[in-house]
Amino acid sequence: MIKRIRQIATEIAVLSIGIAVPAAAQDAVNLSLDQAVQIALEQNLSVRAAHLGTRIRMAGITEEEARFGRTLQTSLSHRADRAPSLSSLDQVQTATSNVQSLALDLSQQLATGGRIGLTFSQNRSASNAAYNAIDPVYGANLEMTFTQPLLQGRGKINRAGIDIAANDLERSELNLDGRIRDLTAEVRSAYWNLFLAHENLEVSRQLYNGAKRVLETAKARVEMGADARSSILQAEVGVASREENIVIAEGTVRDAEDRLKSLLGLDRDPDAWNVGLTPTETPTLVRFDGDLKNGVENALNLSTAYRQQEIDLKNIDLQIDLARDGAQPAVDLSFRAGLRGIGSRYSDDLKGLGDAEGRSWQGGIAFSVPLGASANQARVQRRLIEKEQAEIHRERLRLQIAQQVREKHRQVGTNARRAEVNLLAERLADQNVQEEEERLALGLSTVRQVLDAQDDLAEARIKRLRAVVDYNKALIEWTRFTGE
């Protein structure tokens, strides 16, 4: 798996994130956002399963189309009979007979609902009966048959299976596109969460270093006799508290890495869990020009659930057509025409077949209608009610999607304003820390005041980073819903 990561990274011409040495030899690898998405699309099992689902639906269309293919059947048989003679005409005590036959049948189901067939058969029969003028007897038959429904089962209704299979393929393709879109959004969000976790760890380390500076300052002032020794203890408590924050932040980084690795499909390789991931990109406040009205329209066109409900309505319409067709009387036209040849040699029966001396034909119409209540009529009513229900579900989903798009649009704007406000708060907090540390060195401030100022700076910095990350995640969600 790790070598596969190297291969993918090489293909997209970026920094390699693969390693060919034991995991312990490298604590972390650099990972760009595009690399993460590329690996996920190739390795994630849910996407691979969705691809296979599409292939299955394509096979379903082929299966339905095969119903209209040609069928060739052949048979070869031999029969022998031996029994005591029961007729004086046989002029033998034991009557024997044998028949060999060969048959070829070619048939095809038509898209009109009819069926056409062509059958050729040839046989040889022999008997020891004295009354047979010709022995053995050779016979050949050529017959064409045709049936066509005139009401029930006629016309395009016979392609309903293909249409339903095509709709199922479209549904599967929508599911694949939606899964790719969802996975891309999930990977991007997980990537920025990992970035935020790393930044939080870095801020915790900066706080720790700041607390150590305060401790050194406190020690120096105690040695000079400017402060009481209790200030040293207070500073040491601050150092210990910052160290605990580092431990917690490191755990948060591991959790964020695990989440991203799971999306990348690396959870199948135990060695991959020993390798850390370091984001190489930084989220920015890019300009947002999303239009709410267009966003709603695009979301409806892009929504997998909404599009699949439209496909469900198409399938219900097909099922209504099938039920209505089944409720019609069955009126079937049939026709059969054949030629027959017979003789004492193979050439004789084929010649007779060619001369068309032995011929026959038959035609007719069969009519069938149910008496009393019809299950198909009840099925039509049920399908109509199901269609009305499906239309209500679709309308409800449309309203839900519109509401979600409005929420996503609002979240983008809210997070953008958050980032701007928190940026100003971070600058003021940083200025306050610098002033408090300078005042502490001059004896004009206390250890507690400096530690509090550092905490305020850390909180402001994390808030600003979280707002920027949330803004980028809001953009990701907007893109996932609207495609913009």
DSSP of 79-121: EEEEEE---GGG-SSEEEEEEEEEEEEEEEE-TTS-EEEEEEE
With 0-12 CB in 10 A as exposed, 13-18 as middle and 19+ as buried, what is 389? exposed
309 plus 362 within the same structural domain: no
Q: Is pLDDT above 70 for 26?
A: no
The residue-averaged pLDDT of 204-211 equals: 85
Residue 375 within any structural domain of the chain: no
Most confident stretch, 1-5, 115-119, 158-162, 219-223: 115-119
The residue-averaged pLDDT of 3-25 equals: 39
187 plus 136 within the same structural domain: no
Residue where a domain stops, chosen among 321, 339, 368? 368
129-159 pLDDT, tens digit each = 666 667 788 888 899 999 999 988 888 898 9
Question: In the structure, what pLDDT confidence band is assigned to residue 1 with cuts at 50, 70 and 90?
Answer: very low
215-236 pLDDT, tens digit each = 887 788 777 776 667 778 888 8
132 plus 176 within the same structural domain: no
The residue-averaged pLDDT of 382-404 equals: 93
The residue-averaged pLDDT of 463-483 equals: 91
Q: Give the CB-side neighbour count of residue 303, counting CA atoms within 13 A.
A: 22
Question: In the structure, what pLDDT confidence band is assigned to residue 18 with cuts at 50, 70 and 90?
Answer: very low
* Proportion of the chain above pLDDT 90, given as a percent: 38
Residue 91 within any structural domain of the chain: yes
Residue 325 within any structural domain of the chain: no
Q: Which residue has the higher pLDDT, 349 or 13?
A: 349
The residue-averaged pLDDT of 172-180 equals: 92
* Proportion of the chain above pLDDT 70, given as a percent: 90
Q: Is pLDDT above 70 for 404?
A: yes
415-434 pLDDT, tens digit each = 888 888 888 888 888 888 88
Residue 405 within any structural domain of the chain: yes
Flag the least confident range among 26-40, 47-61, 222-236, 238-252.
222-236
Q: Is pLDDT above 80 for 311?
A: yes
Residue 321 within any structural domain of the chain: no
Residue 383 within any structural domain of the chain: no
The residue-averaged pLDDT of 20-49 equals: 76
274 plus 405 within the same structural domain: yes
45-94 pLDDT, tens digit each = 888 899 999 999 999 999 888 888 889 999 999 988 777 766 666 566 77
Quick one: pLDDT at residue 341? 81
24 plus 76 within the same structural domain: no
145 plus 175 within the same structural domain: no
The residue-averaged pLDDT of 21-43 equals: 74
For the chain, the domain total comes to: 2
Quick one: pLDDT at residue 128? 73
pLDDT mean across residues, the chain = 84
Rounded to whole angstroms, the Cα distance separating 463 from 461 reads 5
Is the backbone of residue 377 left (phi > 0), alpha (psi -120 to 50) or beta? Answer: alpha
Q: Sheet harboring 94-109: ordered strands across?
A: 70-84, 94-109, 115-127, 137-149, 330-343, 358-368
246 plus 353 within the same structural domain: no
Question: In the structure, what pLDDT confidence band is assigned to residue 21 with cuts at 50, 70 and 90?
Answer: very low
23 plus 84 within the same structural domain: no
9 plus 88 within the same structural domain: no
46 plus 172 within the same structural domain: yes
182 plus 75 within the same structural domain: no
Q: Is pLDDT above 70 for 24?
A: no
For residue 418, what is the domain's CATH number?
A: 1.20.1600.10
**Quick check: pTM over 0.85?**
no
Q: Is pLDDT above 80 for 440?
A: no
The CA distances from residue 481 to 188, 374, 484, in Å, are 14, 46, 8
Report which of 54, 15, 63 is spatially closest to residue 36, judged by C-alpha positions.
15
Quick one: pLDDT at residue 73? 93
Residue 66 within any structural domain of the chain: no
Q: Is pLDDT above 80 for 275?
A: yes
Quick one: pLDDT at residue 314? 93
Structure tokens at 81: 């009979």
Residue 323 within any structural domain of the chain: no
Q: Is pLDDT above 80 for 293?
A: yes
214 plus 300 within the same structural domain: yes
Q: Is pLDDT above 60 for 359?
A: yes
Range of the domain at 274: 2-60+162-313+388-482
Q: Please give the angle made by the CA atoms of 463, 479 and 408, to the nearest 5 degrees.
A: 55
